[in-house]
Amino acid sequence: PTFCYHPNLSIAGNCRMCLVEIEGQGKPATACSTPVAEGMVVKVDSPGAKEARRAVIEFLLLNHPLDCPICDKAGECVLQDNSMAHGKLKSRFTFGKVHKPKVQDIGRHIVLDAERCILCSRCVRFVDEVTKTHELGIFGRGNTEVLGLAPEKRLDNAYSGCTSDLCPVGALTIKEFRFQSRVWFLQKTPSVCQSCARGCNLDIEVNPNSINKVGLRRVYRLMPRENRRVNKTW
Protein backbone atom coordinates (compact mmCIF):
# COMPACT_ATOMS: atom_id res chain seq x y z
CA PRO A 1 0.00 0.00 0.00
CA THR A 2 1.22 3.52 -0.85
CA PHE A 3 0.23 7.17 -0.83
CA CYS A 4 3.22 9.18 -2.03
CA TYR A 5 4.58 6.71 -4.61
CA HIS A 6 3.80 7.31 -8.29
CA PRO A 7 5.49 5.43 -11.18
CA ASN A 8 6.11 8.64 -13.16
CA LEU A 9 7.40 10.81 -10.30
CA SER A 10 10.55 10.74 -8.20
CA ILE A 11 10.69 8.64 -5.03
CA ALA A 12 9.86 10.66 -1.91
CA GLY A 13 9.33 8.00 0.77
CA ASN A 14 7.52 10.48 3.00
CA CYS A 15 4.14 8.81 3.54
CA ARG A 16 5.72 5.70 5.17
CA MET A 17 2.77 3.55 4.09
CA CYS A 18 4.88 0.95 2.28
CA LEU A 19 6.85 -0.08 5.38
CA VAL A 20 8.25 -3.63 5.29
CA GLU A 21 10.53 -5.66 7.51
CA ILE A 22 13.99 -6.58 6.21
CA GLU A 23 15.91 -9.35 7.95
CA GLY A 24 18.94 -7.98 9.77
CA GLN A 25 17.56 -4.44 10.08
CA GLY A 26 16.30 -3.22 13.41
CA LYS A 27 13.36 -1.18 12.19
CA PRO A 28 10.88 -1.19 9.28
CA ALA A 29 12.08 0.27 5.96
CA THR A 30 10.20 1.98 3.13
CA ALA A 31 9.87 -0.42 0.22
CA CYS A 32 9.82 2.38 -2.37
CA SER A 33 13.22 3.87 -1.48
CA THR A 34 15.19 0.81 -0.30
CA PRO A 35 17.51 -0.59 -3.00
CA VAL A 36 17.43 -4.34 -3.56
CA ALA A 37 20.58 -6.13 -2.37
CA GLU A 38 21.99 -9.61 -2.82
CA GLY A 39 20.43 -12.06 -0.36
CA MET A 40 17.92 -9.53 0.98
CA VAL A 41 14.89 -11.10 2.71
CA VAL A 42 11.86 -8.79 2.73
CA LYS A 43 8.78 -9.52 4.84
CA VAL A 44 5.72 -7.70 3.52
CA ASP A 45 2.96 -9.34 5.55
CA SER A 46 4.77 -10.04 8.82
CA PRO A 47 3.09 -8.91 12.09
CA GLY A 48 5.69 -6.14 12.47
CA ALA A 49 5.11 -4.75 8.97
CA LYS A 50 1.33 -4.83 9.38
CA GLU A 51 1.52 -3.07 12.75
CA ALA A 52 3.80 -0.39 11.28
CA ARG A 53 1.28 0.31 8.52
CA ARG A 54 -1.59 0.40 11.01
CA ALA A 55 0.34 3.02 12.99
CA VAL A 56 0.85 5.14 9.85
CA ILE A 57 -2.88 5.07 9.11
CA GLU A 58 -3.68 5.98 12.71
CA PHE A 59 -1.36 8.99 12.58
CA LEU A 60 -2.82 10.15 9.25
CA LEU A 61 -6.35 10.02 10.65
CA LEU A 62 -5.54 11.96 13.84
CA ASN A 63 -6.32 15.31 12.20
CA HIS A 64 -7.96 14.18 8.96
CA PRO A 65 -11.62 15.31 8.82
CA LEU A 66 -14.08 12.42 8.66
CA ASP A 67 -16.21 14.09 5.99
CA CYS A 68 -16.31 11.23 3.47
CA PRO A 69 -20.08 11.63 2.89
CA ILE A 70 -19.55 15.09 1.35
CA CYS A 71 -16.12 14.52 -0.20
CA ASP A 72 -15.91 14.15 -3.99
CA LYS A 73 -13.08 11.64 -3.60
CA ALA A 74 -15.29 9.16 -1.72
CA GLY A 75 -15.41 5.89 -3.60
CA GLU A 76 -11.96 6.31 -5.17
CA CYS A 77 -10.02 7.59 -2.14
CA VAL A 78 -6.74 5.80 -1.42
CA LEU A 79 -6.98 6.79 2.26
CA GLN A 80 -10.39 5.11 2.49
CA ASP A 81 -9.09 1.96 0.83
CA ASN A 82 -5.94 1.74 2.95
CA SER A 83 -7.87 2.51 6.14
CA MET A 84 -10.21 -0.39 5.48
CA ALA A 85 -7.40 -2.77 4.49
CA HIS A 86 -4.68 -1.80 6.96
CA GLY A 87 -6.09 0.54 9.63
CA LYS A 88 -7.74 0.16 13.00
CA LEU A 89 -11.49 0.33 13.43
CA LYS A 90 -11.45 2.77 16.34
CA SER A 91 -9.35 5.86 17.02
CA ARG A 92 -7.58 6.36 20.36
CA PHE A 93 -7.28 10.11 19.76
CA THR A 94 -9.47 12.07 22.20
CA PHE A 95 -8.22 15.63 21.62
CA GLY A 96 -9.39 18.31 19.20
CA LYS A 97 -8.21 18.05 15.59
CA VAL A 98 -5.86 20.61 14.05
CA HIS A 99 -7.84 22.73 11.58
CA LYS A 100 -6.37 24.08 8.35
CA PRO A 101 -7.68 26.34 5.52
CA LYS A 102 -10.58 24.88 3.53
CA VAL A 103 -12.12 25.57 0.10
CA GLN A 104 -9.25 27.65 -1.27
CA ASP A 105 -9.48 28.86 -4.86
CA ILE A 106 -5.89 28.24 -5.98
CA GLY A 107 -6.35 28.11 -9.76
CA ARG A 108 -8.71 28.27 -12.72
CA HIS A 109 -9.71 24.62 -12.27
CA ILE A 110 -8.56 23.56 -8.79
CA VAL A 111 -9.89 23.95 -5.23
CA LEU A 112 -7.64 23.09 -2.26
CA ASP A 113 -8.87 21.72 1.05
CA ALA A 114 -5.68 21.72 3.15
CA GLU A 115 -7.44 19.94 6.01
CA ARG A 116 -7.85 16.79 3.90
CA CYS A 117 -4.27 16.85 2.61
CA ILE A 118 -2.01 14.03 3.87
CA LEU A 119 1.17 15.78 2.60
CA CYS A 120 2.12 12.99 0.19
CA SER A 121 3.81 15.65 -2.02
CA ARG A 122 2.63 14.08 -5.30
CA CYS A 123 1.25 17.41 -6.55
CA VAL A 124 4.38 19.31 -5.49
CA ARG A 125 6.62 16.86 -7.34
CA PHE A 126 4.34 17.05 -10.39
CA VAL A 127 4.66 20.85 -10.74
CA ASP A 128 8.40 20.62 -10.02
CA GLU A 129 9.27 17.68 -12.29
CA VAL A 130 6.62 17.51 -15.03
CA THR A 131 5.30 21.02 -15.67
CA LYS A 132 8.36 22.69 -14.04
CA THR A 133 6.16 25.61 -13.00
CA HIS A 134 6.72 25.27 -9.21
CA GLU A 135 3.40 26.70 -7.98
CA LEU A 136 2.91 24.40 -4.98
CA GLY A 137 4.90 23.73 -1.82
CA ILE A 138 4.63 22.32 1.69
CA PHE A 139 5.14 24.96 4.36
CA GLY A 140 5.54 24.88 8.16
CA ARG A 141 6.63 22.11 10.51
CA GLY A 142 5.08 19.34 12.56
CA ASN A 143 1.31 19.05 12.70
CA THR A 144 0.96 22.64 11.38
CA GLU A 145 2.63 21.68 8.08
CA VAL A 146 0.37 22.66 5.20
CA LEU A 147 0.17 22.44 1.41
CA GLY A 148 -0.14 25.82 -0.27
CA LEU A 149 0.73 28.10 -3.16
CA ALA A 150 4.17 29.58 -3.61
CA PRO A 151 4.23 33.38 -3.07
CA GLU A 152 2.53 35.36 -5.84
CA LYS A 153 1.57 32.24 -7.79
CA ARG A 154 -1.63 30.47 -8.85
CA LEU A 155 -2.07 26.95 -10.15
CA ASP A 156 -2.94 27.89 -13.72
CA ASN A 157 -0.53 25.84 -15.83
CA ALA A 158 -1.89 23.86 -18.79
CA TYR A 159 -1.74 20.57 -16.84
CA SER A 160 -3.14 21.82 -13.52
CA GLY A 161 -6.05 19.36 -13.65
CA CYS A 162 -3.57 16.48 -13.34
CA THR A 163 -2.91 17.51 -9.73
CA SER A 164 -6.46 16.48 -8.85
CA ASP A 165 -6.02 13.16 -10.68
CA LEU A 166 -2.81 12.57 -8.72
CA CYS A 167 -4.21 13.48 -5.31
CA PRO A 168 -4.90 10.28 -3.33
CA VAL A 169 -7.44 12.05 -1.09
CA GLY A 170 -9.97 14.88 -1.49
CA ALA A 171 -7.51 17.73 -0.99
CA LEU A 172 -7.34 18.89 -4.63
CA THR A 173 -10.63 18.76 -6.51
CA ILE A 174 -11.71 19.92 -9.97
CA LYS A 175 -14.14 22.86 -9.92
CA GLU A 176 -16.07 21.53 -12.92
CA PHE A 177 -16.78 18.22 -11.16
CA ARG A 178 -17.30 19.30 -7.52
CA PHE A 179 -20.63 18.01 -6.14
CA GLN A 180 -21.82 16.94 -9.60
CA SER A 181 -22.00 13.15 -9.27
CA ARG A 182 -20.85 10.31 -7.08
CA VAL A 183 -18.10 8.38 -8.82
CA TRP A 184 -19.84 5.02 -8.43
CA PHE A 185 -22.67 6.27 -10.68
CA LEU A 186 -20.27 7.00 -13.55
CA GLN A 187 -19.65 4.69 -16.49
CA LYS A 188 -16.27 4.79 -18.25
CA THR A 189 -15.70 4.61 -21.98
CA PRO A 190 -12.12 4.57 -23.34
CA SER A 191 -11.42 7.31 -25.87
CA VAL A 192 -8.77 9.70 -27.20
CA CYS A 193 -8.56 13.44 -26.48
CA GLN A 194 -9.22 15.65 -29.53
CA SER A 195 -7.94 18.94 -28.11
CA CYS A 196 -4.62 18.65 -29.98
CA ALA A 197 -2.68 16.24 -32.20
CA ARG A 198 -0.93 14.42 -29.36
CA GLY A 199 -3.73 11.88 -28.94
CA CYS A 200 -3.71 11.52 -25.16
CA ASN A 201 -5.64 8.44 -24.04
CA LEU A 202 -8.57 9.16 -21.72
CA ASP A 203 -11.76 7.78 -20.26
CA ILE A 204 -15.04 9.59 -20.85
CA GLU A 205 -17.19 9.24 -17.74
CA VAL A 206 -20.96 9.63 -18.05
CA ASN A 207 -23.85 9.29 -15.62
CA PRO A 208 -26.73 7.45 -17.33
CA ASN A 209 -28.92 7.42 -14.21
CA SER A 210 -31.63 10.09 -14.48
CA ILE A 211 -32.32 10.08 -10.72
CA ASN A 212 -28.92 11.24 -9.46
CA LYS A 213 -27.86 13.49 -12.34
CA VAL A 214 -27.21 17.21 -11.92
CA GLY A 215 -29.03 19.11 -14.66
CA LEU A 216 -28.91 17.78 -18.21
CA ARG A 217 -25.20 16.95 -18.32
CA ARG A 218 -24.12 13.74 -20.02
CA VAL A 219 -20.33 13.85 -19.74
CA TYR A 220 -19.20 14.46 -16.16
CA ARG A 221 -15.44 13.85 -16.30
CA LEU A 222 -12.55 13.21 -18.65
CA MET A 223 -9.89 11.16 -16.84
CA PRO A 224 -6.41 10.19 -18.09
CA ARG A 225 -5.97 6.61 -19.28
CA GLU A 226 -2.47 5.21 -19.01
CA ASN A 227 -0.45 4.92 -22.20
CA ARG A 228 3.27 5.14 -21.50
CA ARG A 229 4.10 5.68 -25.18
CA VAL A 230 1.79 8.70 -25.57
CA ASN A 231 0.71 10.43 -22.36
CA LYS A 232 2.05 8.21 -19.53
CA THR A 233 -0.65 8.82 -16.88
CA TRP A 234 -1.28 12.54 -17.44
Can you give the pLDDT at residue 32?
A: 95
Q: Is the pLDDT at 22 greater than 80, yes or no?
A: yes
Please indicate, yes or no, whether the overall pTM of this predicted structure exceeds 0.75. Answer: yes
Can you give the pLDDT at residue 145?
A: 94
Q: Is the pLDDT at 210 greater than 80, yes or no?
A: no
Range of lowest pLDDT (105-109, 119-123, 139-143, 223-227): 139-143
Across the chain, mean pLDDT equals: 93
Can you give the pLDDT at residue 66?
A: 86
Q: What are phi and psi of 10, to 5 degrees?
A: -65, 160
